[in-house]
Amino acid sequence: MASFDRKVERNQMKLNKKGKNPLNNKSSGRTGTGRTMGARGDGDIFKGRKIILPFLLILLAGLYAGVALAGGGAEVSTTMFWLTIVLYVILAVALFLNKPYLRINKNYLFTAKFNRDRMLEAGQISKITASANKIVITPKASGQNWVFHRRRNLFDTPAMAERLETFAKTHKVNFINE
């Protein structure tokens, strides 16, 4: 296990020297929060709200409790039954409180996808497509598009489109307004 730790440490040092680590501000000559991951750095932040999955989890917990209570079985009185329902509700509340976001910095875009912070540099963006209800950011490299929906996640897409258009003009990124 120690050899693995040494390999990780050596690779981390190599990345820091090259300046490839997005979390390392010192290698890029910055001392501020210019490349700080997450929704707490500098730049314009647009936050949404997850509503579909939390609603489905609450509905599932309610259906589970309703079917068991209507059946009147002995399972209703067990601790595991109520613990399962409470855990569904807690998961729904946690997902509801965890807001999706898009942060637009001078040269970077940040978001959270699959519980990981993602970053796109302006040079890595192929095009930005904006419509009334959806924003799609397409990276040049193979990978998933970043999609921000007005109805699904309650994003303010007109304001996002306005700010992304300015970002695209600044960095000569193809911006399509539908």
Neighbours of 46 (CB within 10 A): 20
Q: Which of 147, 145, 113 is nearest to 133 (CA)?
A: 147
Q: Which ranges of the chain have pLDDT less than 50?
A: 24-34
pLDDT of amino acid 31:
37
pLDDT value at residue 74? 65
Task: Return the pLDDT at 102.
Answer: 92
Amino acid 23: pLDDT: 55
Give the separation between CA 56 and CA 158, rounded to whole angstroms: 28
User: What is the reported pTM?
Assistant: 0.68
Closest listed residue to residue 137, CA positions, set 106, 99, 108:
108
Supply the pLDDT for residue 21.
Answer: 54
CB of 171 within 8 A of CB of 107?
Answer: yes
Residue by residue, DSSP assigns 112-166 as EETTEEEEEEGGGEEEEEE-SSEEEEEESSSSPPEEEEHHHH---HHHHHHHHHH
Residue 72 is classified by DSSP as T
pLDDT at position 26, please? 43
Ramachandran class of 93: left when φ > 0, alpha when ψ lies in -120 to 50, beta otherwise: alpha
The pLDDT of residue 78 is 81
